[in-house]
Amino acid sequence: MTHPHTRTYWLEHAWLGTHVEPGVALDVADGRIAAVRTDVTGPPPGAEVLRGLTVPGLADAHSHAFHRALRGTVQVGSGTFWTWREVMYATADRLTPDSYHELARAVYAEMALAGVTAVGEFHYVHHAPGGTPYADPNAMGEALLAAAADAGIRITLLDTCYLSAGFGRPPNTHQRRFSDGSADAWAQRCSALRERDHARIGAAIHSVRAVPADQLETVARWAQERRAPLHVHLSEQTAENDACLAAHGRTPTRLLADHGVLGPRTTGVHNTHLTDEDIALIGGSGTGTCMCPTTERDLADGIGPAAALQRAGSPLSLGSDSHAVIDLLEEARAMELDERLRTRTRGHWTAAALLRAATADGHAALGWADAGTLEHGALADFTTIALDSVRTAGPPPRLGTETAVFAATAADVRHTVVGGRHVVRDGAHTLVPDVPRALARAVDALRA
């Protein structure tokens, strides 16, 4: 029997972690799943009907929301990661707390439309251009927290320490607004941020080139004391590895290990250009790996050793990073397909394993261990993927996981529910009425 204040969702098909189950009823109370009932052949009276395949909400574990304004423009011509970075800096220079809120609200709404229920925002644009703090030193971070609330999704704000332009080099003109001057000052500022129902506060080290080695431990200790997630861009570019070897005589991974950064609450983002010893250090410490295949291929970064990292003990998560596209289903299949291209063999991960990286393991990397599954007690965050679109029609529903991961796109997301509340219903966002218009308006404002 359900509680009087319980809402019931009837799922035509549900992925329960190991298989697709037809006819599942989820009872939701106080934002959590109160019961999972199987063999429910038809919708109970008063139930919300979700037709298609319902899976746990997707976790976008690595986001730079303002990069969404670069979509299309940075695909013109050629260049490298480093030339792309100059265009990115120019966009960052134009952000204000108000314009960032408007852009991030639209970006997070786009994520909800793509089935994302939680985002890890790797946030380093802290101060006004030139580096002067705002009256509220966390005005930019607060804008992101408010944007996620307005878009109806959860956020882990990974407040990022960013102090230098490279090994032994002060921040350049663009980077001054990223820097607090020291890791101690960074810790003092971000300690004023407060968690709330939809938001958790984590930490990030931008990279070994952006945080001096003698200050890495300060950031790691701040995260450890709060049992908070700690993320770091790691070995995305060979140039970073070469510079680290020149400055410290060791790889970025070894440098992080020597300063206490690696561990089960830490996630390395990209982890692309690693030695065998690096892989053993990451896996052996339980450090996670967040792969961002659509950005890694867009920036010609290379294909990271995801399969070897997972075999070594590194949990995998997924992120859309620069938002060349926002589609966690594409990130999941790209991880497998990139590995196929690299090895010329198929089947490195099952569809279920890829979906787990996009759901439970992504949420865990962001400090939401109580999300990412359709189980009693879990947060009532889930998304429904159509099985009758031009991309997904044909396969039997029992192969819904394979269909979702290897054929569906973000355009096939029909519903997104966060905390038991419909944020996307029948493909339309319930809180942001016209997401394309909101995106266009916010991006145009940054170009004006």
Residues with catalytic function: 270, 321
How far apart are alpha carbons 17 and 37 in whole angstroms? 15
How far apart are alpha carbons 72 and 254 in whole angstroms? 37
Select from 142, 120, 48, 35 the least CA-distant residue to 416: 48
- Supply 27's token pair: 């009872």
Q: What residues have CB less than 8 Å from 262, skipping those under 6 apart?
A: 253, 256, 281, 282, 285, 287
Q: What share of the chain is helix, strand, coil (3-state, %, to 5)?
A: 40, 25, 40
Select from 360, 406, 361 the least CA-distant residue to 267: 361
For 43-77, give the secondary structure using H, E and C: CCCCCEEEEEEEEECEEEEEECHHHHHHCCHHHCC
- Supply 87's token pair: 């265009």
Q: Environment class of residue 169 by beta-carbon count within 10 Å: exposed (0-12), middle (13-18) or buried (19+)?
A: exposed
How far apart are alpha carbons 200 and 106 in whole angstroms? 20
